[in-house]
Amino acid sequence: MHIQLIEQSYGAIEVKHEITKMVRIFRSKQPSTKLAGITFVLQGERDKSVAGTIFMLGNDSKSSQRLAALYTPTKVVAVTYAFESAEKEEPMLALMSRIRTALAKK
């Protein structure tokens, strides 16, 4: 078994463990999730409007960190970023939307 570690500015994360946790969060009703040591409060309902996918957003109440996460039956895409402004956030959310549409077709 290959375990991948990703070094972040706030420490190393073990990818398999984190992704397993993310899949559980997508399927649960929990209002928050912890990813790489940061607790993200999930915003609103999980978006299931595109068949076979779930999209959720979250933010860290202690910093400007945000989470955008996408689940499909074959892939999980999780993005964390520092929120600066809605204008700078829009392109990232548009990209996640395009990824979601592309993965839903597979």
The percent of residues in the chain predicted with pLDDT above 70, rounded, is 84
Phi, psi of 88 (to 5 degrees): -80, -25
Confidence category of residue 106, pLDDT binned at 50, 70, 90: low
pLDDT in tens, 75-105: 888 888 888 898 988 988 898 888 888 887 6
pTM for this predicted structure: 0.74
pLDDT tens digits for 17-36?
777 777 788 888 888 888 77
pLDDT recorded at residue 103: 82
In the predicted structure, residue 7 carries a pLDDT above the cut 60: no
Number of domains, the chain: 1
Among 28, 70, 72, which residue's Cα sits nearest to residue 51? 72
3-class secondary structure, 57 = strand
29 is in which domain, residue-wise?
Answer: 5-104
The per-residue pLDDT for 13 is 57
**Dihedral in degrees, nearest 10, Cα atoms 86, 32, 16, 62:** 60
Please name which of 81, 77, 84, 53 lies closest in space to residue 67, comparing C-alpha atoms: 81
